[in-house]
Amino acid sequence: MSDGALHVQWDFPDGLESLDDIRTLFNEYGVTPGSINPNLFQDQRYKHGSFGNPDSSVRELAIRHTRDSIEIARRLGSRDISMWFADGSNYPGTANLRQRKAWFTEGLQAVHGELSAGQRLLVEYKPFEPAFYHTDIADWGMALLLARAAGPQARVLVDTGHHYLSQNIEQIVAWLLSENMLGGFHFNDRRYADDDLTLGSIDPYQVFRIFLEILFYEWETGKPADIAYMIDQSHNLKGKIEAMIQTVMMAQALFAKAAIVDYAQLAEAQRKCALVRAESLLQDAFQTDVRPAIRMWRAERSLPADPIAALFESGYLEQITQERAERNSQSLNSYA
Domain for residue 234, yes or no?
A: yes
pLDDT per residue over 17-62, tens digit each? 778 888 888 888 888 888 999 999 989 999 999 999 999 999 999 9
109 HSE (CA, 13 A, CB side): 9
Domain for residue 161, yes or no?
A: yes
What CATH number is given to the structural domain containing 92? 3.20.20.150
Domain for residue 249, yes or no?
A: yes
CA distances from 35 to 2, 119, 242, 267, 281 (A): 12, 10, 22, 35, 35
- Secondary structure letter of residue 173 according to DSSP: H
Q: What is the DSSP string of 94-119?
A: SS-HHHHHHHHHHHHHHHHTTPPTT-
pLDDT per residue over 199-256, tens digit each? 999 999 999 999 999 999 999 999 999 999 999 999 999 999 999 999 999 999 999 9
Domain count, the chain: 1
Look up the pTM and report it: 0.93
Domain for residue 46, yes or no?
A: yes
User: Smallest Cα–Cα separation from 85: which of 173, 195, 159?
Assistant: 159
Handedness of CA 172, 175, 179, 180 (dihedral sign): positive
User: Smallest Cα–Cα separation from 256: which of 213, 280, 221, 291?
Assistant: 291
Helix (H) and strand (E) counts in the chain = 12, 9
Q: Are 109 and 151 in contact (CB under 8 A)?
A: yes
Domain for residue 142, yes or no?
A: yes
Q: Are 86 and 46 in contact (CB under 8 A)?
A: yes
Domain for residue 307, yes or no?
A: no
Report the distance separating Cα 298 and Cα 291, nearest Å: 10
Report the distance separating Cα 140 and Cα 308, nearest Å: 35
Domain for residue 287, yes or no?
A: no
The model's confidence at residue 1, banded by pLDDT at 50, 70 and 90, is very low
Domain for residue 125, yes or no?
A: yes
Domain assignment of residue 12, given as a range: 2-261
User: Smallest Cα–Cα separation from 124: which of 152, 110, 104?
Assistant: 104
